[in-house]
């Protein structure tokens, strides 16, 4: 039995609203902890790991607002929660925070053995430790407050690259990353930051120019988590 535990801020079932799996019923596992420091982050409550904020799983599942509180659960306990909550989705999205701060092999192995598919959403600033079948979404965070570089190993492991954009500089940063890390056939999505009209127009124009894809955060437009 694997007793590795993971610090979980949220665990819920919804529809994936971004990237290649847009529209896919999914169970989100949001891990606590992230030192990257993205200025536009919409989950800043997951940044700090405060040991005094640990709470029982039942309280974590019952949270009605964003807090820094988290629960420690093993893969077996996570699967038990799925059963108890009556979740129907078979696709798992492991996000954060920054999920690749920890070894995700034990978690993804247990989930896959139980019949689930796994997806990780990472900033590309930590080594991706997961199973061979896990879908890895790298959303590269360039020149953020934390000062972490984008790793070649993460970029080349990516099954898709999903890049948030608001300015031409963000596009230039991505083009530089693609060249630096020798990315060729990986699907690339541009995601307008904060759904602003100017950012969306830039993303659409750039996608057409480079034959990339658009990710519009569908969940935010239809008002679900």
183 is in an annotated binding site: no
38 is in an annotated binding site: yes
Rounded CA-CA distance 166/170 in Å is 7
Tokens, residue 172: 């230039």
Helices (H) and strands (E) in the chain, counts: 7, 9
141 is in an annotated binding site: yes
* Spatial contact of 193 and 141, defined as CB atoms under 8 Å apart: no
40 is in an annotated binding site: yes
The distance from CA 199 to its chain's CA centroid, rounded to whole angstroms, is 21
118 is in an annotated binding site: no
41 is in an annotated binding site: yes
157 is in an annotated binding site: no
131 is in an annotated binding site: no
33 is in an annotated binding site: no
Rounded CA-CA distance 207/4 in Å is 41
Strand-pair partners of 121: 137
50 is in an annotated binding site: no
95 is in an annotated binding site: yes
The distance from CA 211 to its chain's CA centroid, rounded to whole angstroms, is 24
97 is in an annotated binding site: yes
* Spatial contact of 138 and 166, defined as CB atoms under 8 Å apart: no
Tokens, residue 119: 């997806």
Which segments are annotated as binding site for S-adenosyl-L-methionine?
40-42, 97, 139-141
Which segments are annotated as binding site for [4Fe-4S] cluster?
34, 38, 41
Which segments are annotated as binding site?
15-17, 30, 34, 38, 40-43, 95, 97, 139-141
Which segments are annotated as binding site for substrate?
15-17, 30, 95
Which segments are annotated as binding site for Mg(2+)?
43
């Amino acid at each position: 039995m694997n007793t590795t535990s993971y610090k979980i801020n949220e665990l819920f079932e919804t529809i994936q609203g971004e990237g290649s799996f847009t529209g896919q019923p999914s169970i989100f596992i949001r891990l606590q902890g992230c030192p990257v420091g993205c200025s536009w982050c919409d989950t800043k409550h997951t940044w700090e790991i405060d040991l005094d904020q640990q709470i029982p799983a039942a309280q974590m599942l019952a949270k009605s607002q964003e807090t820094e509180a988290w629960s420690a659960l093993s893969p077996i306990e996570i699967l038990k929660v799925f059963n108890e909550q009556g979740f129907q989705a078979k696709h798992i999205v492991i996000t954060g925070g920054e999920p690749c701060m920890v070894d995700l092999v034990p978690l993804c192995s247990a989930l896959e053995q139980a019949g689930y598919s796994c997806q990780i959403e990472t900033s590309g600033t930590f080594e991706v430790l997961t199973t061979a079948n896990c879908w890895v979404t790298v959303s590269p965070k360039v020149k953020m407050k934390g000062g972490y570089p984008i790793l070649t190993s993460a970029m080349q492991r990516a099954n898709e690259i999903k890049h948030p954009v608001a300015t031409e500089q963000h596009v230039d940063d991505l083009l530089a990353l693609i060249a630096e890390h020798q990315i060729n056939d990986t699907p690339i999505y541009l995601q307008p930051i904060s759904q602003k009209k100017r950012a969306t127009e830039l993303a659409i124009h750039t996608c057409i120019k480079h034959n990339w894809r658009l990710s519009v955060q569908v969940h935010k437009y239809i008002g679900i988590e």
